[in-house]
Chain A
Amino acid sequence: MNWSNLVAQMFNGLVLGALLALISSGLTIIYGTLGVLNLAHGAMFMIGGYAGYLAFEATGSYPIAVVAGAALVMVLGILIERVIVRHFYGRPAEDQILVTFGLGIVFVELVRLGFGSLSRSVPPPSWAQGVTSLGFTVYPTYRLVVVGIVAVALLILYLVLYRTRLGMIVRAGIEDSVMVDSLGINVYRVFMVVFGIGAMAAGFAGIVNAPVASLTPDVGESIMIETFVVVVIGGVGSFPGAILGGLIAGQILSLTSIVDPGYSYVMLFAAMTIVLLVRPRGLLGSRSRD
């Protein structure tokens, strides 16, 4: 056993997990509030990356790229909710899944039409390039920065959800949306905002991740699978569950790769299966969405 490699992998698991937590939190708050499983979430991640890429190409500024990527996807999320998803609230879950799945395909193919399949890269900001020595390993500086960015983003999301009136309504909506509606609160406006925030979380993660992994139209597809696993492990609809699930998934992917890298993704699904057997609602899931 190479101890420095073990510590390095644990640390890497934390970084991977942080990013997964951010993407998953968007997916889980949309499902928790609206009851819609948004299968276009991976496409939102991808569009955030491409929007940020365009902004970076135009301005050369990383902060502008991040803001542009997140803002555009938030607007797109609001539009999707108002124009399409809203009409599916009263319809069976299968219809909601199909329409969001279809939307995801449309977005991916539109981007492919516009950009082709050749990958695009966004470089890290100049102050975050290169590697940093951590004693037990050297690690890409930008990935360290990503942990900080994600931590701040998750903190803001937490404050919005747990310290604001909007967050209180959202959490109440997760518990019982009919009751919230009967209290005279415009639930649909809340739904629209939540869909926008959820999409923005994915778009934000997409552009933050762009200097880590180059962009292709399919970039959201593989991350979407991991995101689902994270949400299931943490508990569908649970914001803290998404964070916990993300951190667990990151550790599983990293640590199992020491033993046999070929099986690290298999282990992720094995962990999900075990969680489902022991706690069918996930680690921090509640009964409210049953």
Chain B
Amino acid sequence: MTARTKGTALKSRRNFLRQAAIAGIGLTAGSRVSSVWAKDEPPIGTWPAGSQGNSVFIGITVPRTGTYAVQGEDELKGYQLAVEHINAGHPLIKAISTKTTKGVLGKEVKFGVADSEAKPNVAVQAQSRFITENKAVLITGSTSSAVAVALNKLAQREHVLYAAGISGSNDTTGKDCVRYGVRQCFYGQTAAAAIGPITVKTFGQNKKAAYLTPDYTYGHTVTKSMQDYLKTAGWTTATNQVAPLGAPDYSSFLLNIANSGADVLLNVNWGHDAVLSTQQAKQFGIFDKMKLVVPYQTPFLAREVGGDLMAGVYAATDFWWTLQDKYPLAKMFVEEFEKKYGYKPEWGANNGYMEFALWADAVERAGTFYPPSVIKVYEDGHKIQSTVGEVYFRKEDHQLVRPVIIVRGKKAADMKNKEDFYDVVEVVPGEPLMQKPDAFGCKLGDYT
């Protein structure tokens, strides 16, 4: 070996050692960084894969066919408007999610839509695809509590956040609640506690009630909540007619109701079932004998049943567009929605919009899409301005504490425009309406 080559070899060895040392330091530092990351935000669900690019994906399942199709389409419009506003950094979204600039944590929000047909198995299959193929960071949508409960379970199993859509069952944030699920809309218990007093005040004590109940978790829990409340005023149940979802005819159920001797009919049906059963109740002359109460209002009900059928009828709801006279954010929402879709929004659309706004708020506050951190923000009790005033999530069951709106149907002659179906009678504050957090058996489960 010559001196030159020896020197080159030494230099090479030195270079090698230097590079090895740098690499070693780098590797050590890297492993330290990764161990810190692993400790604080280890991979879980679609984290971090779902938020590594310039965009994040939301999986939406709403019924676009079947008995809840109309309400599903309306809900979808609310989601679409919210995504548009989030990506554009619209003032309405910024008023609700105060840390939002554009997108969520600077990432564009994209979404996919599947028809759930209001069937739990169909919704779960579609959302499973969104999770595995699109790495959805949020799944959402339901107009049936059976779907909401099924997606709750999927969310907890897959560790992906689920914001329930329309879901009126007590079980969604009750016995079937999960750590990974949240709900913004009203439900059986709050509906009953809100509309119960005005029902008793209007019709008196010790009345007989007939119920028309859809045969699944929503129907059973709403009817139970109404029965429990009205029992305190001496009301009894003359009959409870349980009908399958999507029944093509209600005549046999309505005959039983007509012959039950009830004073008041509480129609718990929803979607087209509510429309059809109400129209057929009119055909059977039931409203000549008894009054109608709607404990959980169906969007578009008054529009679809037609005539003066809903005139004077009390209903509990989540949102009605004339709340724009009371809440500035409601006014902004109604104007934006009508500008885009050409009609006044119903409560399903408002619910969809608010779900996404509340999620954007939670992620922005968390500063990360890491699900346990986002969940902890939902649970920290911070107050949020919404289209129905100040609201917050209850940490024990992930239920939004929000008012319930009581409306009364107007006569056609009293309507100021073609969509002026209801008067807002009362905005009932949410907190006193709610059961104790553990009353419905909620056990949220683990973060990881």
Contact = CB atoms under 8 A, between A and B. Distances in A.
Interface of A: 2, 4-5, 8-9, 12-13, 15-16, 108, 112, 116-119, 121, 130-131, 137-140, 142-143, 212-214, 216-219, 221-223, 226, 253-254, 257-258, 260-262, 264-265
Given A121-B279, A138-B284, A254 B252 contact: yes
Nearest to B68: A117
Interface in B328-358: none
23 contacts: A4-B259, A5-B255, A5-B256, A8-B255, A8-B258, A8-B259, A9-B256, A12-B251, A15-B251, A16-B249, A118-B303, A121-B306, A137-B259, A140-B283, A212-B283, A213-B276, A213-B280, A214-B304, A253-B249, A254-B251, A258-B256, A261-B253, A265-B247
B121 interface: no
B302 to A, nearest CB: 12
B285 A214 contact: no
Interface in B262-310: 272, 275-276, 279-280, 283-285, 300, 303-304, 306
B203 to A, nearest CB: 22
Contacts of B67: 216, 218
A206 to B, nearest CB: 12
B246 A117 contact: no
Contacts of A212: 249, 280, 283
A98 to B, nearest CB: 19
A216 B253 CA distance: 21
A140 B290 CA distance: 16
Contacts of B258: 8, 137-138
Nearest to B282: A140
A95 B342 CA distance: 44
Contact of A262 (B243, B246, B300): B243
Given A140-B284, A262-B243, A118 B304 contact: yes
Given A16-B249, A213-B279, A214-B279, 15 more contacts: A9-B256, A108-B65, A116-B73, A119-B276, A131-B283, A143-B283, A213-B276, A214-B304, A218-B65, A218-B67, A223-B248, A253-B249, A257-B252, A261-B241, A265-B247
User: Which label, helix, strand, loop or mixed, suits the secondary structure of the A interface?
Assistant: helix
Contacts, number: 114
A116 B272 CA distance: 13
Nearest to B250: A213
A70 B248 CA distance: 21
A117 B153 CA distance: 30
Interface of B: 64-67, 69-70, 73, 215, 241-244, 246-249, 251-253, 255-256, 258-259, 272, 275-276, 279-280, 283-285, 300, 303-304, 306
A60 B285 CA distance: 24
A205 B200 CA distance: 43
A5 B259 contact: yes
A223 B248 CA distance: 7
A205 B90 CA distance: 51
Nearest to A220: B248
A213 B248 contact: yes
Nearest to B252: A257
A121 B276 CA distance: 10
Contacts of B66: 218, 221
Nearest to A136: B259
A219 B70 CA distance: 14
B215 A262 contact: yes
Contacts of A137: 255, 258-259
The 7 A-B pairs of least Cβ separation, nearest first, read A262-B242, A257-B252, A117-B69, A5-B259, A131-B285, A222-B248, A140-B283
Nearest to A4: B259
B15 to A, nearest CB: 70
Nearest to B300: A118
A2 B73 CA distance: 43
A138 B285 contact: yes
B75 to A, nearest CB: 12
A112 B70 CA distance: 11
A130 to B, nearest CB: 8
Contact of B255 (A12, A112, A218, A262): A12
Nearest to A211: B283
Given A219-B248, A262-B243, A119 B285 contact: no
Contacts of B70: 116-119
Contact of B253 (A116, A138, A140, A257): A257
Contacts of B300: 118
Of B253, B283, B284, B300, which is in contact with the most chain A CB atoms at under 10 Å from its CB? B283
B259 A264 contact: no
A8 B260 CA distance: 13
A265 B255 CA distance: 16
A254 B8 CA distance: 100
A208 B204 CA distance: 41
A17 B375 CA distance: 54
A226 B241 contact: no
A261 B255 contact: no
A118 B302 CA distance: 12
A56 to B, nearest CB: 14
A108 B117 CA distance: 14
B172 to A, nearest CB: 22
A79 B371 CA distance: 56
B262 to A, nearest CB: 13
Contacts of A117: 64-65, 69-70, 73
Contacts of A213: 248-249, 276, 279-280
